[in-house]
Chains A and B, each alone.
Chain A
Amino acid sequence: MSEDATATAELKLPKDLAAEKGLVNVQIDGHWIQVPRGTRMIEAAKIAEKEIPHYCYHPKLSSPGNCRMCLVQMGMPPRPVPGEAPTFGDDGYQQIGWMPRPVIACANTVAENMGIRTTGELVESCREGVMEFLLINHPLDCPICDQAGECKLQEFSVQHGRGQSRFQETKIKKPKNVDIGKNIRLDDERCIMCSRCIRFMEEVAEEPVLGFSQRGTHTSVTVHPGRRLDNNYALNTADICPVGALTSNDFRFQMRVWFLKETKSIDLNCGTGCNTTIWTRANEVFRVTPRQNNDVNSDWMPDSHRLAFHHLESDARLTAPLIQKDGAHSSSTWTEAISKAAEGLNMRQPKEVAIIASARMSNEELYLAKKLADALGTDLISTVARKGDSDSKLISADRNPNSTGAALIFGNEDPSEKLDAIREGVSSGRIKALIVLQEDLLEEAGFDQSNLLGLEHLVSSHILANPTAAASKVVLPGAGFAEKRATYVNVTGRLQRAFQATLAPGDAREDWETLASLLSAVEKTFETPASVDGVIKALASEIPAFEGQSFGSIGDLGVQITETGVTIPLLEQEKARVESGLING
């Protein structure tokens, strides 16, 4: 570096250095940091790891600034009189002139040389005042309220509240326990009028049925007369409601959140693969909530998908391997069931065997299913396509969670291509033995009862009892989505992982184990891996797209392993809102 350049670098002020990168210098609680131009003060504080308590602000929604909880003290350099040059201190910053009045951090953006104080007498007395006003009419019946334990009002009241109420008058009565939609219950007394639910319904769900009515202390959230909050995204309002005003009909009063264990998982009801958290206690799933992933589902999730976990506790769950003898099923041991299943397969010609797998299966299961087909010498392996309509938000038209994974593993653009050939082979009697994995053939696959009864050997694996299981010679009970550790590839080509939250009931097993046992019974040289990680390892070494991947490398947010060109409509809509400056993102 020449002497000249060094000299100019030394002369450059922090503001110029930051400006080159499109950043600005902000002082937060005495420390200077650089943040992108246009950042909200609340987000800048988050970067500096300072929490500014807030209620109405949500990064994915517009900021009306109506709760006033996020008040902070702000300072700017004094405006120079005309003709006067700004003066910079030894550290290269201008002196900050602190404003006597607080500002809200959620709707204001940062500026060069700005100072923010997130603590201090002014800020703390503001928070205490806001808390006191919020609690004036609040019922404070936390022992009954379902939000207790995850309530921002409780938390901030402990952190910033007074501890004692000075309010002597009678509290205002508002509607309680209002039935406003099939999944949601409203308690207006607990509402703190943050308007998050209203903005969500308007901006994200695009069905603005919620709004405020009345004025002043009588303000309450209401649903539009003649309408109901029946949108398929309504339960997200219960998630973002900072208090117990909106609660989920399905979850309320079932269990206190502090007893629940959180397990990171993904939703398997469609190809989007929304990131989720499964909340369990002991071996029971209590609720499923969306988990933030800005490349998949943002912060949201459709109601129909989050409530779909109830099939796990169905009475129709298969809990032991079954063998059919003289038309009736009786439970058996795994060893017996596997050898029975393998026996019927080994005696056939390769041409007489086919496998119908499911694109609901994980990558590991599909990989082993493919290996099983290879071991049996058949190339008749197919999944079942499951198409619906996209809702132009999160629900994908592809209702299978792992079609992309199946395509990669089978090495076939359309993994369900051979289904017609198999169906035709079964009805003509050419195929004598069929393995069915996690599919009921009488549904989407288009088989009929006579096809199934015509088979000499039918082995199937299911979670719930169904007509295919009833017609099977051997039924192998499987594990549900919360009961196994597995990976899936979503419609956009993102490899994601799901952890195990509960154990499968009774003798039911994770399907990779079942497939591995079948495989070793058919092919004696096959070495059963010790855990599902061994299967991922084999898969990663064989299929190029999965190269180098392991459970650990995927991370909580997944990795893009292939580009399918598919986009998720809700994310596109959100991107447009970020670009137009409506939301922070």
Chain B
Amino acid sequence: MATIKVNRPKLSAGEKIYFGSIFKGMAITLRHAFKTLFGKSVGADELASSGMGITMQYPEQKWDEHLPEYYRGVPALVTDEQQRERCVSCQLCEFICPPKAIKIIPSEIPSDDEWAKVEKRPKKFEIDMIRCIYCGMCEEVCPEQAIYLRPDYIVTGTKRSDMVHDKERLYEIGGTRVGLVNKWNDLK
């Protein structure tokens, strides 16, 4: 293996006595401290901070307007324009989910149902939000575009069971998505 020789950077005399850098740092801190006495810090307006500093007063104030479009909040199920369940309980998201937060019990759509052609939908669909790490794998793997990470990020509860989102809750968060889903078509 070739040996690469790395030379130490040459330090000037001022740099060699390291007090210089310490004072530089202190000066920056002090500058911000004084600035807050006379007005808000840089960026504080943008984040709608309440006090003089940059600190946001959560939960009175929220990030919401500042969330980027790609923000990954809670995963939720979506229906199509006609309120049909997009999920076919293929269980791929359950398989891919790294912390095993998703639990699905599939079921067959009865043959007298209007959408019997699709054959399958979830009987139970639960996401344990204590486990979820908001990785977005479920959204990526879903072959039916049925699960999305929504911008919602507030998940609270007083019991463990409050933190488990069931199918109903997931559809409530998820809402409706527009777009063609092939499985309803008679001809492919």
Residues of A participating in the B interface, judged by any CB pair closer than 8 Å: 139-144, 148, 170-171, 173, 176-177, 252-256, 258-259
Contacts and interface: CB of A to CB of B under 8 A. Distances in A.
Nearest to B142: A143
A253 B120 contact: yes
B144 interface: yes
A176 B144 CA distance: 20
Given A171-B187, A253-B108, A143 B95 contact: no
Contacts of B94: 259
Closest CB pairs A-B (n = 7):
A143-B90, A143-B143, A256-B91, A253-B108, A144-B88, A253-B106, A171-B188
A254 B89 CA distance: 10
Interface in B121-161: 143-144
Interface stretch (B27-35, B75-83, B111-119, B163-171): B111-119
B92 interface: yes
B187 A173 contact: yes
B187 A170 contact: yes
B120 A144 contact: yes
28 contacts: A139-B188, A140-B188, A141-B183, A143-B90, A143-B143, A144-B88, A144-B90, A144-B118, A144-B183, A170-B187, A170-B188, A171-B187, A171-B188, A177-B111, A177-B116, A177-B119, A252-B108, A253-B106, A254-B106, A255-B91, A255-B106, A256-B90, A256-B91, A256-B95, A258-B95, A259-B91, A259-B94, A259-B95
A253 B107 contact: yes
A142 B182 CA distance: 13
B65 interface: no
Contacts of B64: none
Contacts of A142: 90, 143
B69 interface: no
A245 to B, nearest CB: 13
Contact of B119 (A144, A148, A173, A255): A144
Interface in B10-28: none
B46 interface: no
Interface of B: 88-92, 94-95, 106-108, 111, 116-120, 143-144, 183, 186-188
A259 B90 CA distance: 12
Contacts of B187: 170-171, 173
B89 to A, nearest CB: 8
Given A142-B143, A143-B143, 5 more contacts: A177-B111, A253-B89, A255-B106, A256-B90, A256-B91
Contacts of B111: 177
Q: Is chain A's binding surface mostly helix, strand, loop or mixed?
A: loop
Contacts of B120: 144, 253
A69 B83 CA distance: 43
A177 B111 CA distance: 9
A171 B107 CA distance: 27
A253 B95 CA distance: 16
A173 B118 contact: no
A395 B183 CA distance: 43
Given A253-B108, A254-B106, A258-B95, A143 B119 contact: no
Contacts of A170: 187-188
A253 B144 CA distance: 17
Contact of A143 (B92, B108, B116, B186): B92
Nearest to A176: B117
A147 to B, nearest CB: 12
A254 B104 CA distance: 10
Contacts of B106: 253-255
A256 B92 CA distance: 9
Nearest to A189: B188
Given A143-B90, A253-B107, A173 B95 contact: no
In the complex, which of the residues A140, A143, A254, A255 has the most CB atoms of chain B within 10 Å of its own CB atom?
A143
Contacts of B183: 141, 144
In the complex, which of the residues A173, A253, A259 has the most CB atoms of chain B within 10 Å of its own CB atom?
A253
In the complex, which of the residues B90, B95, B107, B187 has the most CB atoms of chain A within 10 Å of its own CB atom?
B90
Contacts of A176: 117
A322 B111 CA distance: 45
Given A139-B188, A173-B187, A177-B111, A253 B119 contact: yes
Contacts of B186: 173
Contacts of B107: 253
A256 B143 CA distance: 15
Nearest to A187: B119
A254 B105 CA distance: 7
Contacts of B89: 253
A461 to B, nearest CB: 33
A253 B92 CA distance: 14
Nearest to A249: B108
A519 B102 CA distance: 47
Nearest to A256: B91
B182 to A, nearest CB: 8
Contacts of B118: 144
A173 B111 CA distance: 18
A255 B104 CA distance: 9
A255 B107 CA distance: 9
Contacts of A255: 91, 106
A259 B94 CA distance: 10
A148 B143 CA distance: 13
A142 B88 CA distance: 10
Nearest to A141: B183
A258 B93 CA distance: 13
Contacts of B91: 255-256, 259
A178 to B, nearest CB: 10
Contacts of B95: 256, 258-259
In the complex, which of the residues B92, B117, B119 has the most CB atoms of chain A within 10 Å of its own CB atom?
B119
Contacts of A173: 186-187
A171 B89 CA distance: 25
A283 to B, nearest CB: 15
A286 to B, nearest CB: 12
A144 B116 CA distance: 12
B148 to A, nearest CB: 16
A365 to B, nearest CB: 35
Contacts of A171: 187-188
A254 B108 CA distance: 9
A142 B143 CA distance: 9
